[in-house]
Amino acid sequence: MKEYLFSYGTLQKEEIQLDLFGRILEGSNDVLRGYKVSTIEITDRTFLSKSEGKYQKTLIISDDNHVVYGTALEITDGELLVADKYEPENYKRINVVLESGKKAWIYVAY
The residue extents of the domains of the chain are 2-109
For 8-56, the DSSP string reads SSGGGSHHHHHHHHSSPPPEEEEEEESEEEEEEE---HHHHHTT--SEE
pLDDT at 50: 62
CATH, domain range 2-109: 3.10.490.10
pTM of the full predicted structure? 0.84
pLDDT at 104: 98
- Per-residue pLDDT tens for 57-103? 788 888 768 999 999 999 999 999 999 988 877 789 999 999 999 99
- Per-residue pLDDT tens for 34-61? 999 887 776 666 665 665 667 777 888 8
